[in-house]
Amino acid sequence: MLLTGFYLLVLLYLIRGWALIKKPKLSHEPFKTKVTILIAARNEADNIAETIDDLLAQDYPHQLTEIIIVDDHSTDNTAGIILSYADRGVKLLQLKADQALNSYKKKAISEAIARSTGDLLVATDADCRMGSQWLSTVVGYYETYNPVMISSPVTYFREQSFFERLQTLEFSFLIGIGAAFIGNGRASTCNGANLAYRKDVFYEVGGFKGIDDLASGDDELLLQKVALQYPGRIGFLKDTRAIVYTYAKPNLEAFLQQRRRWASKSTRYKDKKVVALAVGIWLFNALLLVSLVGGFFCAVLFKLFLAELVCKLLFEAIFLGSVTSFFKRKSLIKLVLLLSPIHIFYVVYVGFMGNTRKYAWKGRLVR
Phi, psi (5° rounding) for residue 322? -70, -40
Q: What is the pLDDT of residue 165?
A: 98
pLDDT digits (tens, 9 = 90+) for 36-59: 999 999 999 999 999 999 999 999
Q: Looking at the predicted structure, is the pLDDT value of residue 197 above 80?
A: yes
In whole angstroms, give the CA distance from residue 176 to residue 226.
20
Residue 199: burial class (beta carbons within 10 Å; 0-12, 13-18, 19+): middle
- Over residues 71-110, the pLDDT tens digits come to 999 999 999 999 999 999 999 999 986 655 657 899 999 9
For residue 266, what is the DSSP state? G
Enumerate residues 6+ apart whose C-beta is below 8 A from 272: none
Which residues are registered as beta bridge partners of 35? 65, 120
Asked if residue 267 has pLDDT above 90, the reply is: no
189: pLDDT strictly greater than 70 = yes
- Is the predicted pLDDT of residue 361 greater than 80, yes or no? no
Q: What is the pLDDT of residue 183?
A: 98
- From residue 97, how far is each of 72, 111, 135 by CA, in Å? 9, 11, 31
Q: Is the pLDDT of residue 358 over 70?
A: no
Domains with residue ranges and CATH for the chain: 2-14+271-366 (no CATH), 22-252 (3.90.550.10)
The confidence band for 29, taking pLDDT boundaries of 50, 70 and 90, is: very high
216 pLDDT band (50/70/90 cuts)? confident
Residue 243 predicted with pLDDT over 90 = yes
